[in-house]
Amino acid sequence: MNMREDKKIMCGMGVSLSVIVLAVAILTFRTTSGTMSFISLGLIVAGMLMFAISLHAATKPETELMADERVTRVNENAGNTAFWLVLLSITILFWSDRAWSIGIELVDLYYAVLFVGIISWSVLRWYYNKKEDVV
């Protein structure tokens, strides 16, 4: 049994996971104050979003849940190219910091790489989706 093809298991896991996240977030929100309350509010929002997404997936027919071959190829190509772009950006940032002593902190490098990865994957998915021939 493939997990992606079985709609009932996927939707049940989504609903149960969102309920667990909401319960943990509400319990920690009631018992803590300060910074932890912001984390709890973030978990509450994430749990509500997961619940909405799982309900949306539950209303779709099973044929719409499975990605076809073209979408899979587009995602693979975009992910592969985005990986190399992220690796290149890490290398450039690391060696420029070593050469010119810019003083890049690890947190700054993390956010820069995260931003490059998300933006490049999104743009590359759009680009490969517009291309007619995806190799």
pLDDT tens figures, 69-110: 888 888 899 999 999 999 999 899 889 888 888 888 888 888
pTM: 0.54
Is residue 133 classed as helix, strand or coil in its secondary structure? Answer: coil
- Say what angle helices 7-31 and 35-59 make with each other, to 10 degrees: 160
pLDDT score of 133: 66
Residues 51 and 37: their CA atoms lie apart, in Å, by 21
